[in-house]
């Protein structure tokens, strides 16, 4: 078995604290697999955004709705698929937080952060499924 490989598939209630607990578990695992602090920061922030979006905006904090998280680390690649039970969204309709007065808004930066920090981000179906990958940075790059 590859010592650098790990996977986890789980489902959580739409409660922010449950999301935080799950992120902590994934972060801890990546730390044991020797991912750099900067990569951990990027993955942690992207995970926080995508899971909290699923809980708050996708499932409207309805505890009866679940968020499923399918996470995989293989060689130097981290992959996660997050799915909520909401109606999804159209990426193009989300305002750019860096344009004009949007910079002063107190929210709305999540997708921008995710898309810059991860190697790839894909919004699947109606947008209620987000698949992200992150390639492990080389020491020079991180």
Q: 3 is written with which tokens?
A: 């010592």
Q: Where are the alpha helices (DSSP H) in 54-91?
A: none
Are 132 and 118 contacting, i.e. CB atoms less than 8 angstroms apart? yes
Nearer to other proteins, 2 or 104 (CB): 104
What is the Cα Rg of the chain in Å?
Answer: 15
Give, as ranges, the residues between 113 and 142 that touch other proteins (CB under 8 A). Answer: 113, 116-117, 142
Cα separations (Å) of 75 from 30, 34, 35? Answer: 12, 11, 11
Q: Shortest approach of other proteins to residue 128 CB, angstroms?
A: 21
Give, as ranges, the residues between 84 and 103 that touch other proteins (CB under 8 A). Answer: 97-98, 103
Please select the residue that binds other proteins; options are 1, 104, 125, 140, rule is CB under 8 A.
Answer: 104
Give, as ranges, the residues between 46 and 75 that touch other proteins (CB under 8 A). Answer: 48-49
Q: 103 is written with which tokens?
A: 């910079």
Residue 109 binding other proteins, by CB under 8 A: yes
Residue 42 binding other proteins, by CB under 8 A: yes
């Amino acid at each position: 078995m590859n010592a650098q490989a790990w996977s986890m598939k789980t489902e959580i209630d739409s409660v922010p604290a449950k999301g935080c607990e799950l992120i902590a578990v994934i972060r801890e695992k990546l730390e044991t697999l020797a991912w750099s602090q900067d990569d951990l920061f990027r993955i942690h922030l992207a995970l926080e955004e995508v899971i909290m979006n699923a809980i708050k905006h996708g499932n409207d904090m309805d505890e009866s709705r679940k968020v499923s998280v399918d996470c995989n680390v293989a060689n130097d690649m981290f992959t996660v698929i997050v799915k909520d039970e909401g109606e999804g969204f159209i990426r193009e309709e989300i305002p750019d937080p860096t344009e004009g007065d949007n910079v002063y808004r107190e929210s709305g930066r999540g997708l921008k952060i995710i898309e810059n920090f991860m190697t790839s981000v894909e919004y699947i179906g109606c947008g209620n499924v987000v698949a992200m990958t992150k390639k492990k940075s080389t020491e020079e790059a991180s």
